[in-house]
Structure 1
Amino acid sequence: MVKISFQQPPAGLKADKEAGDGTNSEILLPQEIAEEQPPLVQTRKTSHRVLCYLIVGLIVLLLGLVFACMYVYRHILIDQYPQLHRKNTFECSLLYEDTIYSPFRDQLELEENVKIYIDENYEYINVPVPQFGRSDPADIIHDFQRGLTAYHDIALDKCYVIELNTTIVMPPRSLLELLVNVKKGTYLPQTYIIQEEMIVTEQVNDMEQLGFFIYHLCNGRETYRLKRRTTKRRMNRRQTENCNRIRHFENTFVVETVICGKP
């Protein structure tokens, strides 16, 4: 059996009706009990507010982490390891006629590996050791953002830098379309070869002014500036022996870059 009892109201408080059968009796709660409920409501509101702050803080932290990862990927991983970035890679081979030195010889084959970086607006070309032996292996960078071209002659382990020749070198997107069409067989490159002559002018001491990509290629190597010969002249045998050649293609034809020492 459960016994239920009510606390007698304090003195001075009168009930509206005397206790009768109990059906219409009014229960008066003590003032202390009535005053205990507001702190519970206030505590719940405070806990909800703290929870909201915690959720907002977590969202801000996650967004900061995402942006930090993007920054690390963009400015550290890509700079240290450019091959991780989005690029288009091609292994190319081209048959051409050596109209300069062997006009009556059969066609020669030129091979190179091309990497095109659309976002950074530059091209990387690797020319392996040629079979015909009249050209040096080389790494070439055409930086359209800086307006510079760098040749790393692997045989000499020297770098040469010159202003980008946009009349010969196709921009990355155009070169990409050309190589895609060549790979599909919808376009065949030209078989002729053109020659450009350059001479060494001075050594480069401040490598950072060349931009990151050329700096990454030439840092730690002797690097020289080049200038083009505006008028093509006949070179004697001694001058020819002092020149190095790099055959490559970044257009619809083969280019032979002749680099000679100071006259």
Structure 2
Amino acid sequence: MAAARLMACIPRSCMSRLAASRLPSWEEQAPAVQSRRSSLSGVCYLTMGLLVLLLGLVFASMYVYRYFFITQLPRESVFHCGVLYEDSLYSPFKGQLELHEDVKIYIEENYEQINVPVPQFGGSDPADIIHDFQRGLTAYHDITLDKCYVIELNTTIVMPPRNLWELLVNVKKGTYLPQTYIIQEEMIATEHVHDMEQLGSFIYRLCSGKETYRLKRRSARRRISRREAGNCHRIRHFENTFVVETVICKKS
């Protein structure tokens, strides 16, 4: 009987141990699973929040740049300018001369457009000028001849758009340019330009439908002879703190 009781006891003990070591039910696992899911959801929400914050900072920076900095440097600025200078080239005893021009500055497109009306003193042609800093080219439209001339941009005498804009804004505020001087650059017209599109859209709009020639600067400074002077035309303009006389001569 004792043996039978022992044999009957063993299965009950084993059953109790098996019951104690069984896997937890779904109801028991649910809180742990929900806890893990909630922690993952929290990480996702935190990441999304950081991304939204970062995008907000980016858009806020763009807004500040556009409406505070771009307004100070407008896309296009138009100035009517005048400057006093002494003509040391031809009339050193005439005293002060005055030169007027209209200047349009396109800061984003990086080019300048200058209109020189008929000068009061004579001896110079009215002209439209474009300085294209993207292409590195300058174009002169001599209105008297109705011809265009193109040459590499001379950055030593032509201010970049942003610098010229700052100069003219200061002049407009009352810091007028002091009495300045005049320098001369001599050029010779060379070959005819047939493909106008290679000059860029800005110069193309200025010179389309007009005879257009390439210019070459004189390699050595020398006085233009009286015979050569009859084949030359002068354009006086300024895009710096001094006046420039551009002398364009036909190729002899």
TM over 0.5: yes
CA contact (8 A) 1:245 1:256 kept: yes
1:1-263 superposed matches below 5 A: 86-263=75-252
Aligned-pair distance for 1:117? 0.1
The aligned amino acid for 1:157 is: D
Letter in 1 for 2:238: F
Deviation at 1:187, TM superposition (A): 4.8
Deviation of 1:106 (Å): 1.8
Structure 1 length-normalised TM: 0.67
- List gaps (5 residues or longer) in structure 2: 1-73
Query: Identity over the aligned pairs, expressed in percent?
Result: 79
Q: Is the 8 A contact 1:190 1:252 kept in 2?
A: no
Structure 1 runs (4+) greater than 6 angstroms displaced: none
1:147-187 C-alpha deviation (Å, 9 max, x unpaired): 00000000000000000000000000000001111111225
Going by fraction, where is helix more abundant, 1 or 2?
Answer: 2
Q: Contact 1:92–1:113 (CA<8 Å) still a contact in 2? A: yes
3-state DSSP of counterpart to 2:122? coil
Distance in 2, matches of 1:215 and 1:117, equals 16
RMSD: 1.1
Asked if the contact 2:83/2:100 (under 8 Å) is kept, the reply is yes
Contact 1:189/1:253 (CA < 8 Å) preserved in 2?
no
Which runs of 5 or more structure 1 residues have no equivalent in the other structure?
1-84
Tell me the distance in 2 between the aligned counterparts of 1:240 and 1:174.
Answer: 35
Alpha-carbon contact 2:116-2:127 (below 8 Å) kept: yes
Q: Post-superposition shift, 1:188?
A: 2.0
